[in-house]
Amino acid sequence: MIKNGKIHYLILAILSLFYFIFLLYYYPSLPERIASHFNISGEADGWMSKESFLVLMIVIFIFVNGSLLGITFLIKYSNDFINLPNKEYYLNPVRKETTLKTINNFIMIINNLTMTLMILINYLVINSNIGKSDKLSSSFIYIIAVYLLTIIAVVIKMYSYFKKPVNVL
């Protein structure tokens, strides 16, 4: 059985593998020049070569995951990287290990949500380009809205978890 915190890493590994397989599977089907940026109306307003698109998607993947995984690494070694309510209480040596695991879990949830967003948006971009359309499906607005609302819910949950403990001065 996978320990509670480790499931987030397993999900990230599965999402990452899927992301790369997805990009490599559709890559040969893409036209040489693809629409890579779309305005709020879903109309293409930026293009690049398919090689540049693939490289950019890999760089963004590395940056996003590297940043979030880097944070989970850094907080183990310095309290300076941690900003949470009631910091002194939760980083007391008695509670610190549990606190760090909890923060790590929240960060990994955000990372996995972001990976899911990247997969869905890339699917829409690739589908638009394979279909020879300069218009992105309007579902991108709903995908982004659901992502942002979910991130807000995770942050609220995190702050409510670290609320001021009862009977503590």
Q: Are 32 and 50 in contact (CB under 8 A)?
A: yes
Is residue 168 included in any domain, yes or no?
Answer: no
pLDDT tens for each residue of 40-99: 888 889 999 999 999 999 999 999 989 988 888 888 888 888 888 888 888 889 989 999
Q: How confident is the model at residue 1 (pLDDT cuts 50, 70, 90)?
A: very low
Dist. CA 40–CA 141, nearest whole Å: 8
Is residue 54 included in any domain, yes or no?
Answer: yes
Is residue 169 included in any domain, yes or no?
Answer: no
> pTM, whole model, 2 decimals?
0.86
What secondary structure does DSSP assign to 127-139, as a single string?
HHHHTT-SB--TH
DSSP-derived letter for residue 164 is P
CA angle, 141 then 55 then 29, to 5°: 70
pLDDT tens for each residue of 98-113: 999 999 999 999 999 9
Residue ranges of E strands in the chain: 33-38, 44-49
Residue span of the structural domain in which 88 resides: 6-22+33-161
Is residue 167 included in any domain, yes or no?
Answer: no
Q: Are 162 and 85 in contact (CB under 8 A)?
A: yes
φ/ψ region of 84 (left if φ > 0, alpha if ψ in -120 to 50, else beta) reads: beta
Is residue 27 included in any domain, yes or no?
Answer: no
Dist. CA 35–CA 133, nearest whole Å: 9
What secondary structure does DSSP assign to 14-32, as a single string?
HHHHHHHHHHHHHGGGS-S
pLDDT on residue 82: 85
Is residue 95 included in any domain, yes or no?
Answer: yes
Is residue 1 included in any domain, yes or no?
Answer: no
Total domains present in the chain: 1
Is residue 139 included in any domain, yes or no?
Answer: yes
